[in-house]
């Protein structure tokens, strides 16, 4: 007996086939080329609750004013990228930009996705239309990316007004923030597919908060003993913070490509993992 929630074969045959290398890695039927419709739905749902969407922008601004500006009065200078001394507020600001992109992507791709998956059954309904699990994954990750990007744009404007962008390389901070948001959205949604109840989201906070506080957000890596430095260097947010600091200060080297590659791999793994998990949860 055919499952009513499974996309019909004639619908799949009438839709464009994946052409990219990444999409060819997915089994046939997972992707039918309509991920944009999932993003469009998210836009329609959230357009009447725009304050909820933008509320996450204010958290890093408050941190910047409280710690970067307030506490910064007590700290003259810290060692920045390349070993040159910089003001404390200039040290903290790019780290908060990276964390803003992370928070916007993570919380949209975890709490919101879990509600749609387990309670609202939105994805079951979507699969009754010519959409595949990969369309849902790409669409939801894309919306989380957009939300993280909005936070980043707003925060970048704040930094520009405060005179905390010291180099033309800072123009690349927005693409870098989008890359950070993409990776965290992909991994966040993949992780959400394993959640069983709302209590499991304590693990999300358990992962995000230590990354926020220990990924050299507020003090240099050199304050840690070497064994702890190795652990910190494995945190995704650490790579985002290092990339943002280098771009906003203007100390650019080939190491930035390594940070970017780190996030590209996370996004690739998270996207494929999410699509496969949704197939298991929704089509079996």
Q: What are the 10-residue block averages of pLDDT along the chain, 284 residues in total?
A: 46 46 49 76 75 64 73 74 81 88 83 85 82 82 80 82 83 90 90 87 87 89 90 93 90 89 92 84 73
Q: What is the enclosing helix (H) or strand (E) of 77?
A: strand 77-79
CB–CB of 130/11 below 8 Å? Answer: yes
For residue 52, the model assigns a pLDDT of 61
Handedness of CA 143, 64, 264, 209 (dihedral sign): negative
For residue 244, the model assigns a pLDDT of 92
The model's pTM? 0.80
For residue 43, the model assigns a pLDDT of 80
Long-range Cβ contact pairs of 267-271 (< 8 A, separation 24 or more): 267/179, 267/182, 267/183, 267/186, 268/22, 268/186, 269/186, 269/187, 269/190, 270/141, 270/183, 270/185, 270/186, 270/187, 270/188, 270/189, 270/190, 271/22, 271/137, 271/138, 271/141, 271/186, 271/190
**Residue 169: DSSP 8-state:** G
């Amino acid at each position: 007996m055919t499952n009513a929630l499974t996309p019909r074969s004639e619908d799949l045959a009438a839709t464009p086939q994946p052409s990219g290398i990444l999409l060819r890695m997915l089994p046939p039927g997972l992707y039918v080329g309509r991920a944009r419709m999932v993003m469009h739905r998210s836009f329609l749902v959230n357009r009447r609750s725009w304050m909820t969407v933008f509320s996450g922008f204010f958290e890093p601004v408050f941190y910047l004013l409280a710690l970067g500006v307030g506490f910064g009065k007590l700290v003259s200078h810290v060692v920045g990228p390349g070993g040159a001394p910089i003001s404390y507020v200039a040290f903290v600001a790019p780290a908060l930009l990276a964390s803003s992109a992370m928070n916007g992507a993570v919380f949209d791709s975890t709490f919101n996705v879990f509600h749609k998956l387990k309670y609202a059954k939105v994805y079951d309904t979507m699969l009754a239309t010519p959409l595949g699990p990969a369309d849902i994954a790409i669409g939801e990750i894309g919306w989380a990316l957009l939300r993280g990007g909005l936070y980043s744009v707003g925060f970048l404007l704040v930094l520009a007004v405060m005179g905390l962008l010291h180099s033309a390389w800072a123009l690349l901070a927005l693409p870098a923030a989008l890359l950070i948001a993409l990776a965290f959205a992909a991994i966040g949604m993949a992780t959400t597919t394993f959640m069983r109840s709302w209590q499991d989201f304590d693990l999300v906070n358990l992962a995000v908060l230590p990354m926020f506080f220990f990924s050299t957000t507020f003090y240099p890596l050199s304050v840690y003993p070497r064994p702890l430095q190795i652990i910190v260097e494995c945190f995704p947010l650490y790579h985002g913070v290092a990339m943002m600091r280098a771009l906003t200060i203007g100390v650019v080297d080939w190491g930035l490509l390594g940070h970017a590659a780190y996030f590209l791999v996370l996004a690739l793994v998270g996207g494929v993992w999410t699509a496969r998990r949704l197939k298991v949860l929704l089509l079996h």
